[in-house]
Amino acid sequence: MPNEQSELDAWLTGADLADGDPADAMPWVADFDPDRQMVLRRLGPYQKYYPRPKRFIKRFYHRLYPLAIAYWPQRKQIKLFDEFCTLDLRLELRFQATFDYAMKNLDRLEHLNEHIKQRYADIVEDVVQRELTNLADGAWIQNGLNAVEARMALALAETFVQQSLQAQAMCRIDVEFSEFESVKLGRDSVYLNVLRKTYEFNRDRTLELARQQRLLEQEEIVERRRQLEHLAQTAELDLQAQAIEADKQCRLLAAQQGQLAEQLALEKRLQVERLRHEMELQEMRQEAELRSQEKQAARRRLAESLHLADQLAHQAAQHEKQVAADIQRRLREQHLRQTSLLNDEGLNHDNQTE
């Protein structure tokens, strides 16, 4: 009995909520390394990234990229129970990139922490929003928010660890009630439970009114649906008439298209015939021109042959004249020699006679 009385007193005063810590488990230890750095060794066109060893001497071809511990505070408010309750969330998040994460994001080493914030901002928002949404059931009014804070911090740390990031989160949620600012969570849990019951009664009444309103809306929806069905039937008839007219227009267009195709085929055949006729005329003109050219060439060759024959005949006549002249000249010379010889013989004879 004394035990039951003490438990009741503790429940009424909220001591079990204020003194007990639901997050008695070991806190998440991130094991940050403030000296964590990546080393870039560049020699000419060759380069290599690797974690900085313990015994390291920096050379001119080395470049260091510190993997600093980043501090990422966030603050968010959420209102519950028709803004009767305001939750103020203060989140202190620290993280540090591991060597594995850095090796996967070498092109962002100079601004790696900013890249991490931009990349995982939505994930952090989802985790926080999921935990805050679970508070809408009001169970935390009796149990407190320590477990929620620890669960949110652990969820964030695990989310970052799954991405090869070391992280440690600290979460603090403060509660304010708009009409009872002096009410403190935990110590006044009984009073808060009464408020919660009042809120649940008002909520149930509001839900019932909403249900009745939905019934009226459903009846109105049914009536509108009936009217829409009538309109749909009318529209269906119009669509059928339009479909018949469209089919008629399609058949007419098909007939016109057939006629157009036949006309195009006829024009194509006429064009082909005209082209063939023009080609034949062209060939005939070319053949006539070739024949004319051949005749002209034959005439030219005949004229050249006649001219050459005339030249040869003239040359032969000139040659004959020259030969005849040479013969006459030689005969005259022979006659003169013979006459001279005769004269010489006559003189000799006379001389002998004397």
pLDDT tens digit at each of 354 positions of the chain: 444 444 444 444 444 444 444 444 455 666 787 888 778 788 878 878 878 888 877 778 878 888 888 888 888 877 776 677 787 888 888 888 888 888 888 888 888 889 888 888 888 888 888 887 777 666 676 667 788 888 888 888 888 888 888 888 888 888 777 665 555 555 455 456 556 666 677 778 888 888 888 888 888 888 888 888 888 888 888 888 888 888 888 888 888 888 888 888 888 888 888 888 888 888 898 888 888 888 888 888 888 888 888 888 888 888 888 888 888 888 888 888 888 877 777 666 666 665
- Give residue 82's pLDDT: 66
Round to whole Å and give the CA distance between 242 and 220: 32
Q: What is the pLDDT of residue 180?
A: 57
| Side chain identity at residue 26, one-letter code | M
Task: Kindly provide the b/e burial profile for residues 258-284, where b requires at least 16 CB atoms within 10 angstroms of the residue's own CB.
Answer: eeeeeeeeeeeeeeeeeeeeeeeeeee
Residue type, 244: I
Cα 107 → chain centroid: 21
For the full predicted model, state whether its pTM sits above 0.85: no
User: Which pLDDT belongs to residue 124?
Assistant: 87
Cα 95 to its chain centre, rounded Å, is 34
pLDDT of residue 24: 46
Is residue 164 within 8 A of residue 101, CB to CB? The reply is yes
Burial of 169 from C-beta contacts in 10 A (0-12 / 13-18 / 19+): buried
